[in-house]
Structure 1
């Protein structure tokens, strides 16, 4: 029971951080012309960071599953937002802003997938660079 309580506490702390980052980000990227730029930035940056977190930082720093859960589910889960994405999509649809709707859907879905691939590539490149550096140091 104690372990579950610790997990909830870590998630609570991560969610607190992520939701406050999301709020700060929404103040920086205010919607213009009805385009939900803040939600787009949050979701795309989360799509880039999550694979890097899972595939590089976890291995590089030997992070515990509790830390990964805190960062991925807690911080990134509360920072990114599918519910706001769907609400924004519906609002664009409902107001007949077809071009903005198409752009938003395309950037979010295709852009998110592309950034997830880029995040994996970033993780692999960083891991390779670390390995190469370690090899050079061992030869010296």
Structure 2
């Protein structure tokens, strides 16, 4: 069952990332890869939240969690595109933008994964205390 949910989630996540990239390109242009940065930061937050809230609290069956985490979020985020876009910025002699992109991606990703986990944990404890 996990194969099906991961596959379906992969379709959803990749389409969401494509739509986000197209929207970001039309809003901000080509100068900075904001679409990939947004996808990776949103994905880090979502996976942090999902892992803490859904899997640890066992609110959903594992095959659904895999479909959301590996399928949707895994295909929504992309390290390979981040890597390629960083190299393209360097090749265009946009060293400052490349550095900003790398720092924002790594530190932002860690921060948003922590934030998602933190918010889910607070919500879980609040839920438990109210019982």
TM-score with structure 1 length normalisation?
Answer: 0.86
Q: Return the alpha-carbon distance in structure 1 between the equivalents of residues 6 and 44 of structure 2.
A: 19
**Farther off after superposition, 60-69 or 88-97:** 60-69
- From 5, 27, 35, the equivalent of 1:10 is 5
> Unaligned 5+ residue runs, structure 2?
none
Q: Which has the larger radius of gyration?
A: 1
| Structure 2 counterparts to residues 1-80 of structure 1, below 5 A | 6-30=1-25, 31-60=28-57, 62-80=59-77
Q: Return the alpha-carbon distance in structure 2 between the equivalents of residues 9 and 131 of structure 1.
A: 33
**4+ long deviations beyond 4 Å:** none
TM-score with structure 2 length normalisation?
Answer: 0.91
Larger relative contact order (Cα-Cα within 8 Å, sequence gap ≥ 6): 2
1:86-136, Cα deviation, whole Å (9 max, x unpaired): 1101100111101110110010001111111111111111111111222xx
Aligned position for 2:113: 116
> Unaligned 5+ residue runs, structure 1?
1-5, 135-140
| Structure 2 counterparts to residues 76-87 of structure 1, below 5 A | 76-87=73-84
What is the RMSD computed on CA atoms of the aligned residues? 1.4
